[in-house]
Chain A
Amino acid sequence: MSNAEIEIAVDDPTAPEENSPSVTSNRAVDVAVSLLLLALAVVLAWDNWRTGASWDSTGPEAGYFPFYLSVILGGASLYGIGAAFLSSKEAMETFVTRAQLRRVMAVFVPTLLFCIAMQFLGIYVASFLLIAGFMRIVGKIAIWKSLLTAFLFSAVMFVTFDIVFDVLMPKGPLEAAFGY
């Protein structure tokens, strides 16, 4: 194969390594999810039973439909647990490797912090911090590029939503200081 004219190349400096050890198998996650769903099904079934899951003169009560759905969900989850234990080696495949998990956390944790920050700083300041921080730390992109991109994006979002389309977003002290 001739790859002579490769013209676009982008690097990924913090890519997960190929040979990272496995954290957990698909089977383990499968069983855990099924158990959680089973628990959810029991709670919902109980709640709907309390609401009323039988028939009265006008047809089914409010809890009728969801009650039987909870039963179906619970049944399918139970079946899922059984199937996960009986299934062959396919289920033993790696769910996520340690390096992958680290990378997933590298997005998830900042996103979580972003959602928390949004309530205090407003969405635009929080998004500036998220974008600049993420580009710098995860992407290893030059600091001025990170700051500039983050500023431009947040500014464009502010103008688009707050000024042009009049969509109200949570705002914080900075916007208040400018009178918005």
Chain B
Amino acid sequence: MEALGLLLHGFAVLLTWKTLLLMMVGLVLGVFVGVLPGLGGPNGVAILLPLTFSMDPTSAIVMLSCIYWGALFGGAITSILFNIPGEAWSVATTFDGYPMAQQGKAAEALTAAFTSSFIGSLVAVLLITFLAPWISSFALKFGPPEFFAVYLLTFCSFVGLGREDKHKTVIAMALGLLLAGVGMDTVSGQLRMTFGSTDLLRGINFLVAVIGLFGISEILLTMEERLALRGHAASISLRTVLAVWKDLPKYWMTLLRSSVIGCWLGITPGGAIAASFMGYNLAKRFSKDQDSFGKGRIEGVFAPETAAHASGTAALLPMLALGIPGSGTAAILLGGLMVWGLNPGPLLFVEHKDFVWGLIASMYLGNVVGLVLVLSTVPIFASILRVPFAAVAPMIVVSCAIGAYAIQNAMFDVWLMLGFGVVGYVFKKIKIPLAPFTLALVLGSRAEDAFRQSMIISGGNMKVFWANGLVGTITTLAILLLFWPLIDRLVASFGKSTPPAAKVEA
């Protein structure tokens, strides 16, 4: 019950005119970037991050997380009205959302999408409210070996569970960790990988890399497409909203299932994209009338949207409790925390109560306000798409450049951003995943510090990672996950070959 009291305190922190105004601004900007083709949650947050540099951390994180909620809501608008997923995780929403719009039921589809987004987030926020303090108080007992084991677990689960080619995930991660190590070594004070450059002395700033990787590269990618649009306009009346809400209890099973899938995949680095597809597929499989999916069935909107939002929100849980982001956007928010001088990790819950509970309270409030906002202003946002991309693209480029420069007042960073833009473009096209790259960049130096501190404690003995039950379990789990595809194949071949004949696997 302590959590409830702290949450109420969080609401008290939030309820000032300034914070509420920032929330609204964040939500509007978020829906805006969510609606624009080629821009989404991580890009929007990365580009708009510099706006928050001069704010206090609580206002800044409230605004940024609202941009994120807004982007999650906005993605659904284009999927349903234009059959263009604004985000990869909205792809599954187009399957039934666009057919509904074609049948003249755009308003119902949009209401369903927004409502289920709201429900998904709400479930995940409830989970965060009650689980995060518990996990963080548990994690307070962690020493460097435990933290290194947790980092290792995160990295290994990306390699083992990711759907990309394994070597590409390894490349992304090793490169990210290497780039994070450029500059002065924090333990010995030696210079590494700077090659005599004074600009590299400061290291490669994570946010500069992210603005390039997500902002500039996304513009390059989007320009490849034909950007002409044709779509439906829609406005939502209160009657439609109430009609959809009245039917909501009928779909409780779909909503619940998708929420659970979303929360699970959000905490583990599976991501919102996988969650939305899984939510959709499971809803289809459990349905009595499978053929009607893909032809404009409202459940086909409920399922992926709930899962995507639950996952997008739940990704913030490991970030808050352990300092380990569960998604690309969470990684960027984590980078923001460091800019504002906060040290992400379990200590946040002890040292910065106002901040943490303000953020959690803003998740509740932001989603409620966001729901009302998108329901009432859909026509305005849909018409944003009338603005040609040729006008939007250069503005985004300018915003990116301002952002990259503002972080350290360095022209070098603008060039670095441009370089990362090209890298991001090429990597995305040849399917080297950016999420583990970002994660490695942001966690790199922390992981290395944890490793070296553990080594100093143990006098260079690797056994420290198996020194007690806790750290041993995490390390072993990490190694198991790293080789999970191999283990999975072995188990599968056992399963197939043993029952019929007594064939023994070597």
Contact = CB atoms under 8 A, between A and B. Distances in A.
Given A66-B178, A80-B171, A139 B426 contact: no
Contacts of A118: 401, 411, 414
B192 A79 contact: no
A119 B167 CA distance: 40
A3 interface: yes
B141 interface: no
B388 A141 contact: yes
Given A9-B229, A73-B174, A161-B406, A139 B190 contact: no
Pick the 9 closest A-B CB pairs, nearest first.
Answer: A139-B390, A59-B455, A7-B233, A73-B174, A62-B185, A127-B398, A15-B226, A62-B190, A12-B227
B232 A130 contact: no
Q: What's the dominant secondary structure at chain B's contact region?
A: helix
B171 A115 contact: no
A138 B81 CA distance: 26
Given A76-B170, A161-B406, A62 B192 contact: yes
Contact of B224 (A18, A66, A96, A139): A96
A80 B427 CA distance: 13
Interface in A147-180: 149, 153-154, 157, 160-161, 165-170
A115 B224 contact: no
Interface of B: 50-51, 53-54, 81-82, 102, 104, 165, 167-168, 170-171, 174-175, 177-178, 181, 185, 187-188, 190-193, 195, 216, 219-220, 223-224, 226-233, 382-383, 385-386, 388-391, 393-395, 397-398, 401-402, 405-406, 409, 411, 414-415, 418, 421-422, 425-427, 429-430, 432, 448, 451-452, 455-456, 459-460
Nearest to A164: B54
Nearest to A18: B226
A167 B339 CA distance: 15
A26 B431 CA distance: 10
B232 A131 contact: no
Given A76-B168, A83-B165, A138-B393, 10 more contacts: A6-B230, A7-B232, A26-B429, A33-B427, A59-B456, A62-B190, A73-B175, A83-B167, A108-B422, A166-B54
Contacts of A1: 102
24 contacts: A8-B232, A10-B386, A15-B226, A26-B430, A30-B430, A44-B178, A60-B451, A69-B177, A69-B178, A70-B178, A73-B171, A80-B167, A95-B430, A114-B401, A123-B401, A123-B402, A130-B397, A131-B391, A134-B394, A139-B389, A139-B390, A149-B391, A165-B53, A167-B54
Nearest to A146: B391
A77 B53 CA distance: 38
A119 B411 contact: yes
B402 A55 contact: no
B394 A37 contact: no
Interface string A120-133: 00010001001100
A3 B106 CA distance: 13
B171 A37 contact: yes
A51 B192 contact: yes
A70 B170 CA distance: 11
Contact of A58 (B102, B220, B456): B456
A115 to B, nearest CB: 5
Contacts of A40: 175
Contacts of A61: 188
Contacts of A72: 170, 174
A77 B171 contact: yes
